Structure 1
Amino acid sequence: MRSISAGDEHIVARIPVSMLRLERRLAPFNSYAPPDPNGLAPSIIEGKRELDRLTLNELSGVSDACRRAAPASQTDDGRYFISRSSALPLPPILSHRALGGVHLWIGVEEGIAIVLDDNEHALFLQLRDGTTLSQLADTLRQSTPERDGWAVIYALIGRLAVSGFIRGIDGYTDRWLPSPGRFMRLHLTQRCNLTCVHCYADSSPYVTSEGEISVDRWSRLIDEFADAGGERVLFTGGEALIYKGCDLLIRKAHERALDVTLFSNGLLIDRYLDLIRACVDQVQISIDGPDAQTNDAIRGPGSFARAKQAVDTLIAAGVRVRISMVVMASNLAAMQRDFVRFASQWPRGAVEFRLGYGVAHHGRGEELGDPLGIDDVRPVVDALLEAVEGDGGPRIARSTKGCGYAEQIVVAHDGTVHPCHLLDGAVTHIDKQSIPDLIQLLQQTSHDYDVDHTVGCNRCDIRNLCGGTCRILNGKTTGNRRIANCTASDKLHRLHNLVETFSQTQTPQALAHEWE
């Protein structure tokens, strides 16, 4: 270990712990412990029941007529045909919740959602119960003769179609579903030129290069992934740009026509700017405060100025940039006070923001013991995002995606393969299995740990929209990775997020025009 000054004594004391923890996390994860089906805490069960009551939750099947109805058929010119004289072919199992003055309907098995107002909700109830479109039009004509009943129905059917609620019509087509065959995440090194207090990877300048695999082996892995049909590769660490040969690997991925993302703290961006401009599709820069005083206390002296300069440099070079920020106790007040100002200093659309709901309780993040939980941070983050969006500011990355466990190939610096970027429990090594075999192994792991096999998720109506809570955190809080750590408050937030996301679904104009 290199000599360390007296001012770094707190780091010296931490290093042996970090190294031992890292070795333990990288060790093989061979156990497959079936969860106790009664393993949920009573407080969680009661909280979810109360949430169901407050949101008027109803889980129901559609009518037999809807089940028997033929799916929408497609004509030669790409249009869809839906019969006016038979029931609408809806998904078989639906869930309804009243939330925030609107109605959230969910296709449980399909993982689809739509938000309806009171009038649309009343019409949808009739369609769910088997009323035909013609019958519904007659009812509207009799009750409100001044309204064009068919125009109202067409608008609703258009939204249902786009949302995937009509069998035979796929609905949304802009989803990029992750899978280990499409996305690979490479932790080139555990070394870093910063020692952030909350780093889940235990990275620092005091971690050695021992165990790192060679540039040639990384290069062959990229070739194997591309040959197997891979689409995206993410380079991270530690700090990926510290790894000698990172430039060759980034160029290799670009030459293989892979979408390339780089995660960085920004300190070495100037050195590799030409490479990044030519070969990287997006760079994520980590900044943990809206000003130098706040950020530097978390990430190290001078890191704020250099990271901000990296963002400016990348924008000027025409590179897509995302800033990742973690909201925690030590930066909460500053984020509330100055985040909007900080975010607004860049032109609209020039930068994307991703705000994390608190510290990951892993690595030094677990050691930090940040007192704020997700529920403490969540309203602050949501308010900040709304404030920036309301001002027409930078685009915010927002998603209803869930955990992502085993949905990507995650390779640690030593070649071990993990189901999660937290690098906790290796399932194999890149020298033991080919990429196709790795993909198959991770697909099986994803299946074994999916929401249908996770206690607390398997009976949840939004499980296929949410994806479940972090499997690693599940294991730490419930004792089993397949027993969910999801409270009623967590679920309520997810429901509000769904309402916000799916309220934006509009009737496609072309579709409405065709039906008129």
Structure 2
Amino acid sequence: MVPLIDPFQRAITYLRVSVTDRCDFRCVYCMSENMTFLPKKELLTLEELDRMCSTFVHLGVRKLRITGGEPLVRKGIMTFFESMSRHLDSGDLDELTLTTNGSQLERFAQQLYDTGVRRINVSLDTLDEKKFADITRWGRLEQVLRGVDAALAVGLRVKINAVALKDFNEEELTTMTKWCADRGMDLTWIEVMPMGDIGNEDRLGQYWSLKDVRKAYENSYAVTDLAERTGGPARYVRLEETGQKIGFITPLSHNFCESCNRVRVTCTGEIYMCLGQEDMADLREPLRASPKDDTPLEDAIRAAILLKPKGHDFDYSRQKLDGQMPRHMSHTGG
């Protein structure tokens, strides 16, 4: 099978799939408070998601990350994980994982582990209960913390993803780092991305450059750069005092596109070749038009990969929202 290679000779081996645009939180940098969600009939069924992901695996994808919205609020989602585990058993897939807000982990941690998931990312921006309620609008911090503990207890490796937000979690850098270190968890900071209409929230006011985050670490820790590259957006350092790995995802202050090995498929079957571009292709139509023959779907995937751009256009440097995307992150999947 000829592998998926984009026009810039990058092999596409990593697929992120949003299984729902729905979420039980309304984080202020991700969604408006009163979201209008997609009609359920537009979403791919779990069986269609299985066929879609399996086709990508057949074409050389080795890592599959399930996202949302919040993936664990999708009804019946564990049957999908159970089905996809066959690709782990066959050796065709190296990793099946997910990104979650943690709200449902207490319920599903053991089932996830049983299906072959070994590593998860939990999005968590603050350990302050009031601030957590403010930023998620609907969320309950204690529920998430119990979920993290449940995941660790069953043997899942947990990485915390925190969006760096100016005048919000700046003073929590040391607190969150220590909390993660005490539990053997790595921590990745992410610059807020200009995606979707979020009402009255100020994107520029939210932006806390990770250059400043790194300086804050250097004031308190011995920081060692790591050469580790996963094909993903993060650059890593090690804090010598704790031994933990700290990641920096910097779409705004440092473009990471040269090593991009991934594409994203939405819950409606749209493939986005770049998170920061609007170019997309419809995979739902060939998927549904030919239910017993995957050739049209494979052809559509290959055609989409040939349109993958070199990089995105996010830019805050001129104090305006260059490259802002009209779609919400919850639609594409983070």
Q: Normalised by the size of structure 2, how large is the TM-score?
A: 0.71
| Correspondences of 1:353-502 after superposition (within 5 Å) | 353-357=187-191, 359-364=192-197, 368-372=201-205, 376-386=208-218, 387=220, 389-398=239-248, 402-403=256-257, 407-421=261-275, 424-432=278-286, 434=296, 436-446=298-308, 449-450=309-310, 470-471=312-313
Greater share of strand residues, 1 or 2? 2
Give, as a single letter, the amino acid of the residue that structure 2 aligns with 1:394. Answer: Q
Contact 1:222 1:252 in 2 (8 A): no
Instruction: Select 1:235's aligned residue among 66, 87, 92.
Output: 66
SS of alignment partner, residue 397 of structure 1 = strand
Change (3 A) 1:479 1:329: closer
Q: For 2:53 and 2:267, how far apart are their aligned partners in 1?
A: 14
Q: For 2:273 and 2:260, how far apart are their aligned partners in 1?
A: 4
Alpha-carbon displacement from aligned partner over 1:57-103 (angstroms, at most 9, x marks no partner)? xxxxxxxxxxxxxxxxxxxxxxxxxxxxxxxxxxxxxxxxxxxxxxx
| Correspondences of 1:12-411 after superposition (within 5 Å) | 179-180=11-12, 182-199=13-30, 207-210=37-40, 211-257=42-88, 258=93, 259-278=95-114, 279-331=116-168, 335-347=169-181, 350-357=184-191, 359-364=192-197, 368-372=201-205, 376-386=208-218, 387=220, 389-398=239-248, 402-403=256-257, 407-411=261-265
Contact 1:343 1:393 in 2 (8 A): no
Per-residue deviation at 1:203? 8.8
Contact 1:410 1:419 in 2 (8 A): yes
Give, as a single letter, the amino acid of the residue that structure 1 aligns with 2:170. Answer: Q
Change (3 A) 1:204 1:346: same
SS of alignment partner, residue 257 of structure 2 = coil
Change (3 A) 1:283 1:385: farther
Give, as a single letter, the amino acid of the residue that structure 1 aligns with 2:256. Answer: G
| Aligned residues with identical type, % of pairs | 19
Contact 2:22 2:73 in 1 (8 A): yes
Change (3 A) 1:349 1:307: closer
Q: For 1:396 and 1:230, how far apart are their aligned partners in 2?
A: 26
Per-residue deviation at 1:296? 1.9
SS of alignment partner, residue 445 of structure 1 = coil
Give, as a single letter, the amino acid of the residue that structure 2 aligns with 1:383. Answer: K
Change (3 A) 1:204 1:317: farther
Q: For 1:352 and 1:196, how far apart are their aligned partners in 2?
A: 22
SS of alignment partner, residue 127 of structure 2 = coil
Q: For 1:477 and 1:205, how far apart are their aligned partners in 2?
A: 22
Per-residue deviation at 1:430? 3.8
Change (3 A) 1:243 1:203: farther
Per-residue deviation at 1:235? 0.5
Gaps of 5+ in 2: 1-8, 222-238, 287-294, 326-334
Change (3 A) 1:423 1:204: farther
Per-residue deviation at 1:390? 4.4
Q: For 1:291 and 1:418, how far apart are their aligned partners in 2?
A: 35
Alpha-carbon displacement from aligned partner over 1:293-343 (angstroms, at most 9, x marks no partner)? 222211135532222222222112211111111111341xxx333321232
Q: Normalised by the size of structure 1, how large is the TM-score?
A: 0.48
Give, as a single letter, the amino acid of the residue that structure 1 aligns with 2:147. Answer: A
SS of alignment partner, residue 410 of structure 1 = strand
Contact 2:118 2:156 in 1 (8 A): yes
Q: For 1:340 and 1:295, how far apart are their aligned partners in 2?
A: 17
Q: For 2:322 and 2:138, how far apart are their aligned partners in 1?
A: 38
Alpha-carbon displacement from aligned partner over 1:150-198 (angstroms, at most 9, x marks no partner)? xxxxxxxxxxxxxxxxxxxxxxxxxxx9733x11111111111111111
Contact 2:24 2:70 in 1 (8 A): yes
Q: For 2:303 and 2:180, how far apart are their aligned partners in 1?
A: 43
Give, as a single letter, the amino acid of the residue that structure 2 aligns with 1:411. Answer: V
Per-residue deviation at 1:382? 0.9
Contact 1:287 1:325 in 2 (8 A): yes
SS of alignment partner, residue 280 of structure 2 = coil
Q: For 2:299 and 2:314, how far apart are their aligned partners in 1?
A: 24
Contact 2:103 2:144 in 1 (8 A): yes
Is the radius of gyration larger for structure 1 or structure 2?
1
Hey, what does 1:496 align to over in structure 2?
Answer: none
Change (3 A) 1:404 1:421: farther
SS of alignment partner, residue 179 of structure 2 = coil
Q: For 2:261 and 2:154, how far apart are their aligned partners in 1?
A: 32
Q: For 1:212 and 1:405, how far apart are their aligned partners in 2?
A: 30
Contact 1:261 1:282 in 2 (8 A): yes
Structure number with the bigger relative contact order (C-alpha 8 A, sep ≥ 6) is 2
Per-residue deviation at 1:471? 3.3
- What is the RMSD of the two structures over their aligned residues, measured on CA atoms? 3.4
Alpha-carbon displacement from aligned partner over 1:18-41 (angstroms, at most 9, x marks no partner)? xxxxxxxxxxxxxxxxxxxxxxxx
Q: For 1:441 and 1:421, how far apart are their aligned partners in 2?
A: 18
Per-residue deviation at 1:406? 7.6
Q: For 2:33 and 2:52, how far apart are their aligned partners in 1?
A: 23
SS of alignment partner, residue 253 of structure 1 = helix
Q: How many residues align?
A: 278
Gaps of 5+ in 1: 1-176, 451-467, 482-516
Per-residue deviation at 1:417? 1.4
Q: For 1:313 and 1:204, how far apart are their aligned partners in 2?
A: 31
Greater share of helix residues, 1 or 2? 1
Contact 2:110 2:151 in 1 (8 A): no
Q: For 2:146 and 2:199, how far apart are their aligned partners in 1?
A: 30
Contact 1:354 1:396 in 2 (8 A): yes
Q: For 1:408 and 1:203, how far apart are their aligned partners in 2?
A: 30
Per-residue deviation at 1:209? 4.4
Change (3 A) 1:265 1:205: farther
Q: For 1:431 and 1:215, how far apart are their aligned partners in 2?
A: 16
SS of alignment partner, residue 267 of structure 2 = coil
Per-residue deviation at 1:361? 1.2
